[in-house]
Amino acid sequence: MPAFFRETRFQPARILLLRTRQTPPQRHWIIGVNSRRSQGSRAELSKQRETLRPVCALGILKSTMTERVVFITGANGGLGTFVTKRFLEIDAIVVGGSRKISKEDFEWPNFVPLPVDFTKSNAVRDAVQSVVTRFGRLDVLVHVLGGFAGGSAVAQTDDATWEQMRDLNLTSAFYVLRAAIPHLRKSGKGRIVAIGSLAAVEPHAGLAAYVTFKSALTTLVRTVALENKDSGMTANVVLPATMDTPANRKSMPGADFSKWVQPADVADLVLWLADERAEHINGMAIPIDNPKA
């Protein structure tokens, strides 16, 4: 594994919320990340994180994300549900996109459902434009949509699997990025956060189609960051290991679920990257896994 990923992989139990003093004396909550070398037991760190997480979600981030317009793809999926709720809890205006989605999925007054097929270019373009037309702007794009299919070596991968993985994990991202970037640039502090996979940098045999297009997604997002670095917009991609979602439990019933990444931890990281004060984080591919793995 490249040295960068060895040094920067996020461990959920090491994500802490630290209170600091500034001049004039004023208390703020910020997210700090400790490495594996950090002092203190894992249990103690986990307890601190669980105790302080609500302060992060409803405190300083709420003050900066209130009424920001956030477009989330795959909003009602296994991870998307956690991400969408995080933004709703801090009073962002959330437009949730998915092929099938309704107001009943999230009963918050600041939630707007938007059914859209993200594998269709014109549908994505019209969806993004409808968000901007309704709210006058777009501040944050969170691209959660994706899909998984594996179990075949390259020589046995059929066209249908290859094309499905391409459309869900790369083409959808390209369409929504292309449509959203001009509006995010106008925001002045636009944020793009995409969900990739740790497999993008740690490929496994039998997952050729999936890892190929997740790797391409990572490169695409980092390229967007380079192309727009002078606009105030940032673009980052989060690379989770296997997540504890209903779909994954169903497909891998014999796995040790305790070693999987919790979607809530991924959602917390996404929320921080979408904040205005995360302007110094740009073009990063950030792995996140479970310290028990």
In a domain, 7, yes or no: no
| Annotation marks residue 210 as catalytic | yes
In a domain, 36, yes or no: no
Give the pLDDT confidence score for residue 9 in this predicted structure: 46
Looking at residue 175, which CATH number applies to its domain?
A: 3.40.50.720
Give the pLDDT confidence score for residue 252 in this predicted structure: 82
In a domain, 293, yes or no: no
Q: Would you say residue 1 has pLDDT above 60?
A: no
In a domain, 15, yes or no: no
Give the pLDDT confidence score for residue 84 in this predicted structure: 98
In a domain, 122, yes or no: yes
Please enumerate in sequence order all residues whose Cβ is within 8 A of that of 88, keeping only pairs 6 or more positions apart, or say none. Answer: 94, 106, 108, 110, 111
Q: Are 241 and 202 in contact (CB under 8 A)?
A: no
More confident residue, 19 or 190: 190
Per residue in 47-78, is it b (16+ CB within 10 Å) or e — as a string? ebbeebeeebbeebbeeebeebbbbbbbbbbb
Catalytic annotation, pick one of 210, 213, 260, 272: 210
**Domain with 106 in it:** 65-288
Give the pLDDT confidence score for residue 249 in this predicted structure: 82
Give the pLDDT confidence score for residue 86 in this predicted structure: 95
Taking only the tens place, the pLDDT of each residue in 97-134 is: 999 999 999 999 999 999 999 999 999 999 999 999 99
In a domain, 47, yes or no: no
Provide the number of structural domains found in the chain.
Answer: 1
Q: Would you say residue 276 has pLDDT above 60?
A: yes
How large is the average pLDDT for residues 219-223?
Answer: 97
In a domain, 41, yes or no: no
In a domain, 184, yes or no: yes
Per the prediction, the chain carries an average pLDDT of 82
